[in-house]
Amino acid sequence: MTHQEIKTAYERDGYVAVRDIIDVRDLAPIRDFIKAKVDAYSRELYSEGKLSSRYEDEPFERRYAAICQELDILPRNWNFGAFGLEFYDLYNLPGVLSVLRLLLGPEVSNIGTPALRTKLPGSVITSFPWHQDSQYLDQGTIGKKEKHTGHLHMVTVWVPLVEATIENGCCWVIPGSHRWGLLDGARGADSNVRMEADVEARGTPVPIPLKPGGALFMSNLCVHTSKVNMTQESRWSIDFRYFPTPDRADLTVAQHKAAEFVQNKALAGGRVPLIVLTKEHKPTWEEWEAQVLEQRRK
């Protein structure tokens, strides 16, 4: 796709899937990070007698699923951390930044943390109901409806680490739903947001199967979901979010307030948004690492 085709599709639909924009070798550090964490987890459980096997011969797509199957657990979240040079490099991938410049402009930050998705076989809790990413960002309390970022343009970049198919729970989107505004919905006891509107009555869902090397760019108001993984392997993916840098981007008063909300929420959680596009100084890995460690100490 040309830059103009990418921008036109995104503005029309609220998302665009760009294939072969990432060199798959650039995803190897993230996969290696996952492998090391899963290996350490299996070693710990095996030494404690909680696992009959470390499942070392299982492939990347299957090993964590096999461990969880024996433990009879289906975790909603990845609980083994997601910070390091490999993530700094991920947020700064040249192909991703070239698209972000088209969509968000010249002053852009990553929120400082990714969502590593471990969609396990048969896991209902990771078949996220229809939602907009702003709903998850804005709502921190179960049952409490809050709206902070409906007028701020943010972009989610969703990247598969294994092939995402309809069978293993790829993303589904509703084209044009970003023009509906920030809809009502609230977090349930399982932490998943559930929308009040019947969104499938308003638009036609479209699946987005995607191979490693591709990336799905979505507006924070694009209505999307993912369904149950019907295979026996984990559907590994990682998604990360970008927003206009509050003190550098050209924003309205309302947009600036929303961007500050995003920044302050990250800082309160011990994270530091990372500037990835700017006309001014761009932090090195060492500088950003120092900022994050200092924020965590606070």
- Asked if residue 223 lies in contact with residue 48, where contact means CB atoms within 8 angstroms, the answer is no
Task: State the pTM of this model.
Answer: 0.96
pLDDT single digits (tens) 175-230? 999 999 999 998 999 889 999 999 999 999 999 999 999 999 999 999 999 999 99
d(CA 15, CA 21): 15
CA 151 to chain centre: 20
DSSP conformation class of 101: H
Query: What's residue 18's pLDDT?
Result: 98
- Domains, the chain, ordered by start: 3-24+76-297 (2.60.120.620)
- Asked if residue 207 lies in contact with residue 172, where contact means CB atoms within 8 angstroms, the answer is yes
* Max Cα-Cα span within the chain: 58
d(CA 3, CA 103): 10
d(CA 298, CA 163): 40
pLDDT single digits (tens) 259-292? 999 999 999 999 999 999 999 999 999 999 999 9
pLDDT single digits (tens) 106-158? 999 999 999 999 999 999 999 889 999 999 999 988 888 999 999 999 999 99
Task: Please give the radius of gyration of the chain, using alpha carbons only, rounded to the nearest integer.
Answer: 19
3-state secondary structure of 254: helix
